[in-house]
Structures are given as structure tokens and as C-alpha cells.
């Protein structure tokens, strides 16, 4: 079983729509949680960290539920430029792999005019 | 400031040849990670360096893969006797001691084995 699971999509939404992505993880020892964004043929870039209290950055809101081992990302008022693959990432620590990131396979978002 | 750089950006090689991939982390970043992303697959962790030391090499896909880091900076990932299944994008990331859980990725090396 993969440690981080996401719905691959694609999610096709019109500009201005609100879209939500979900992710579950299996390793309860995971300490840090992130959403990364990856554009086609580009490297992943950190979008935002995810905290238990929930956090917001402009149009983006991330939530973490440790009890359910569930992470979400909400994008409001979506823009064409939001089209990308969104990667759910968890970050357990161990002495052998440090803070190596465990990535989900990503959820593809296409925002259309 | 300068980000993580990797070279070459693209490499096409014949099956059976050796290749060397290079990563220059952000200056001062103590931790360095190698990942690979195969077509249609998620990112797969390969190896981690803290300083020049890699505590565990078991994430490397086979014994044809090796990695080293010198001077606490540049790292090289070497693949010997390349196979077609080695074709992937190889990504390097680094992080600082202050924020070890935030990794910054280089643009990757796209390796194609023909």
C-alpha cells in the first residue's frame, strides 16, 4: 500500500470555481506535511506547509486531520495559472533517510476559461 | 540567491553506458536528497546525505547506482551499465539545518536510455 494516496483526477474546473483535493497517509509517525505544485516537465515547488490548526495563504487553504491521517487543499476563485499537478507530501523523519519526502502521485488540475 | 542546480539538464545514452549526474545544492544547505520520477509515477526517494555522509543506501534501485557528496556541497549520482528502466527524471533537493523539512528542488536531469 502506497504511503500517500491521492485521487489522480484530472479535475477540470472553470475559472473562478472552488476546488478541493484530498490526501490520506499511512505513516502515523509523519511529522510534517506539505502541498507541492508541479508544472509540466518542471521540478516540484513548495506551495504551502500544512498545520493541524489549518492555514491559509491567499486563495489556498490547507487542513490536516492527524486522527484520520487526512490532508486537504482548497483553492478558491481558481485561475488559469493554477493548472498544474498538486502533490501531497508527508515527511516522517528517521536517521537513515532524514527528512526524505514521501510524495503522492499527484492530482492533476486543469482550469478552463 | 542561487537555487539548486543540476547538470546535465538532458542526457541521452545508450544502454550499457555509464552516466554521471551532478547536483549543486543551495549554498549552506547541509542536507541533500536525490529522487527520481519515472513516467507516470510519483517521486521516489533514492538517497539522503547529511554533510558528506549517506547513512543508508538501500533506497538506491540497484547496485549499479552509487552516489557521493564531497566538501558538504556538490553531489554526483552515478549509474553504471544503464538500462532502459533507468530512464527517468532525476531530481536533487537540499534543505537547511534551520528548516530541515523544507526542501528546494533543482530542475532535474532527464535521462533517456536508448
For chain B, the residue count is 114
Q: Is A101–B56 a contact, with Cβ atoms under 8 angstroms apart?
A: no
Chain B residues closer than 8 Å to A103 by CB: 42-43
pLDDT of B40-82, one tens digit each?
778 999 999 999 999 888 899 999 999 999 988 999 999 999 9
Percent residues over pLDDT 90 in chain A: 75
Q: Is B102–A49 a contact, with Cβ atoms under 8 angstroms apart?
A: yes
- Please enumerate in sequence order all residues whose Cβ is within 8 A of that of A11, keeping only pairs 6 or more positions apart, or say none: A19, A21, A107, A108, A109, A110
Separation of alpha carbons B94 and A111, rounded Å: 31
pLDDT of A74-94, one tens digit each?
999 999 999 999 999 998 777
User: A16 - beta bridge partners?
Assistant: none
What local confidence, expressed as pLDDT, does residue A1 receive?
52
Separation of alpha carbons A33 and B81, rounded Å: 37
Query: Which one of A4, A42, A91 has the shortest CB-CB distance to B101?
Result: A91
Q: How would residue B6 be classed by pLDDT, with cut points 50, 70 and 90?
A: very high
Q: What is the overall mean pLDDT for chain B?
A: 94
Amino acid at each position: 500500500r502506497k504511503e500517500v494516496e491521492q485521487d489522480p483526477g484530472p479535475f477540470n474546473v472553470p475559472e473562478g470555481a472552488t476546488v478541493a483535493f484530498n490526501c490520506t497517509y499511512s505513516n502515523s509517525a509523519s511529522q510534517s506535511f506539505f502541498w507541492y505544485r508541479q508544472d509540466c516537465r518542471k521540478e516540484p515547488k513548495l506551495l504551502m506547509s500544512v498545520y493541524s490548526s489549518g492555514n491559509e495563504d491567499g486563495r489556498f487553504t490547507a487542513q490536516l486531520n492527524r486522527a484520520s491521517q487526512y490532508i486537504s487543499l482548497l483553492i478558491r476563485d481558481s485561475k488559469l495559472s493554477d493548472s498544474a499537478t498538486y502533490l501531497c507530501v508527508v515527511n516522517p523523519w528517521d536517521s537513515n533517510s532524514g527528512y526524505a519526502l514521501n510524495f503522492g502521485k499527484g492530482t492533476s488540475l486543469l482550469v478552463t476559461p | 540567491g542561487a537555487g539548486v542546480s543540476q547538470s546535465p539538464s538532458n542526457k541521452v545514452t545508450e544502454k550499457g553506458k555509464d552516466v554521471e549526474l551532478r547536483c549543486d545544492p543551495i549554498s549552506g544547505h547541509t542536507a541533500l536528497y536525490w529522487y527520481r520520477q519515472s513516467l507516470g509515477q510519483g517521486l521516489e526517494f533514492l538517497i539522503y546525505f547529511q554533510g558528506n555522509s549517506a547513512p543508508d543506501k538501500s533506497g538506491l534501485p540497484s547496485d549499479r547506482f552509487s552516489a557521493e557528496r564531497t566538501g558538504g556541497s556538490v553531489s554526483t549520482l552515478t549509474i553504471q551499465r544503464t538500462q532502459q528502466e533507468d530512464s527517468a527524471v532525476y531530481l536533487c533537493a537540499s534543505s537547511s539545518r534551520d528548516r530541515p523539512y523544507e526542501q528546494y528542488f533543482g530542475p532535474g536531469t532527464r535521462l533517456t536510455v536508448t
